[in-house]
Structure 1
Amino acid sequence: MSINVPTLLTLLRILLIPLLVVVYYLPIAWAALFASAIFILAAITDWLDGYLARRWNQTTPFGAFLDPVADKLIVAVALGVLIETHASLWMTAPALIIIGREIVISALREWMAELGQRAQVAVSSLGKWKTSLQMIAIGMLLAFEPGHVWACLGLLLLYIAAVLTLWSMFIYLKVAWPMMRPSLAMEKN
């Protein structure tokens, strides 16, 4: 297996995860801002690796597997840090909606792939909007303390991302429902 530039960018994103956590908890004034910059760098590599893979025709099965894993890992870790920092229902609710949806949709995509129907639950433009808002919101929330005006705006964007998250999940489940129904009937027998 050869590693190309897009895959290296995805691997970099995974390596940035522990760095983000360590930097965020450093007892220095600029730690949160630097952790936010690390997260934003990771978000940029998410866009860049996909762009380069398509542009240079370097898509690989390994890259297609690793990219969404890296995305979900960094988002889940960042949201976990934010849940701890904010320690409130207002942060926990949208964070858990986003994390829960990612688990459900990942399982759904895996199951649909086993049925040969993976294309039915491919990433949509709504999912791309959700991801963009989510990344902006998390970057803002990491950079500013709870209660700061920019953190409040970040939280608002996170709620909008959570609504888009639920909306896209229902769309994916609606598409997959016809294939689930025969499976449900067979399990009862």
Structure 2
Amino acid sequence: MRMNVPNSLTLARIVMIPVFMLLFFLPFHWAAPASAIIFGLAGLTDWLDGYLARRLEQYSNFGAFLDPVADKLMVVAALVLLVQHDASPLLAIPAVIIIGREIAISALREWMSELGERASIAVSWLGKVKTTAQMVAIFLMLWRHDIAWIPTYTLGMVLLYASAGLTLWSMFNYLKAAWPTLKDDDRLL
């Protein structure tokens, strides 16, 4: 495996997870915004590594595998921390929807790859919008401090519900795209 810039950014995103988690638990006023900033930087590296891979034509099988893993690790870690911090059904419901969808669609992609049909469930524009909404929502909720008159946590919660809705919508679209292949697979029964 040859290391390139996009793969280095993806690995950096994974390294940011324990840093972000440590900052989240520090008992200082600045810790919440600092953890949000690390999360935000990780989100930017997600966009940047994809952009650079296309721009520099630095695609790799390793990058294709690791990039979505890094994204899911960061989002799941953040959602678990947020639910631990604010243990309420109001937060747990969208967190479970988002995490459950990620598990289900990852399994679906794996299965479709085994059937040679992975391209039929490639990442869509809706998946990108969903990811952006999740990242912004989680960033705002991690920040935890109002900015001027803007209640960032509440705004983040509203956006998290919107992203949970987008999550379900994109999951149904992926399942709909995969259904013709899945229903014709006699290994299902």
TM-score interval for Structure 1 and Structure 2 normalised by the shorter chain: over 0.9
Alignment of 1:26-175 (within 5 A): 26-144=26-144, 149-175=151-177
What SS is found at the alignment partner of 1:22? helix
Tell me by how many angstroms 1:27 deviates: 1.1
Alignment of 1:15-30 (within 5 A): 15-30=15-30
Match of 2:178 in 1: 176
Separation in structure 2 between the aligned mates of residue 124 and residue 105 of structure 1, nearest angstrom? 13
Alignment-mate amino acid for residue 139 of structure 1: F
Question: Given the two structures, how large is their TM-score scaled by the length of structure 2?
Answer: 0.95
Distance 1:38 1:179, change over 3 A: same
Separation in structure 1 between the aligned mates of residue 184 and residue 109 of structure 2, nearest angstrom? 17
Separation in structure 1 between the aligned mates of residue 144 and residue 37 of structure 2, nearest angstrom? 12
Q: Are 2:30 and 1:14 equivalent residues in the alignment?
A: no
What SS is found at the alignment partner of 2:184? helix
Identity %: 56
Listed one character per residue, the Cα deviations across residues 51-106 of structure 1 (whole Å, up to 9, x for unaligned) are 00000000100000000000000000000000011110111100110000000000
What SS is found at the alignment partner of 1:99? helix
Tell me by how many angstroms 1:145 deviates: 5.7
Ranges in structure 2 where 5+ consecutive residues have no aligned partner: none
RMSD of aligned Cα (Å): 1.4
Alignment-mate amino acid for residue 170 of structure 2: S
Distance 1:32 1:2, change over 3 A: same
Q: Is the 8 A contact 2:105 2:171 kept in 1?
A: yes
Separation in structure 1 between the aligned mates of residue 116 and residue 44 of structure 2, nearest angstrom? 31
Distance 1:186 1:28, change over 3 A: closer
Q: Matched residue pairs, number?
A: 186
Listed one character per residue, the Cα deviations across residues 121-145 of structure 1 (whole Å, up to 9, x for unaligned) are 0000000000001000000000116
Listed one character per residue, the Cα deviations across residues 9-28 of structure 1 (whole Å, up to 9, x for unaligned) are 00000000011111110111
Alignment-mate amino acid for residue 26 of structure 1: L
Tell me by how many angstroms 1:182 deviates: 2.9
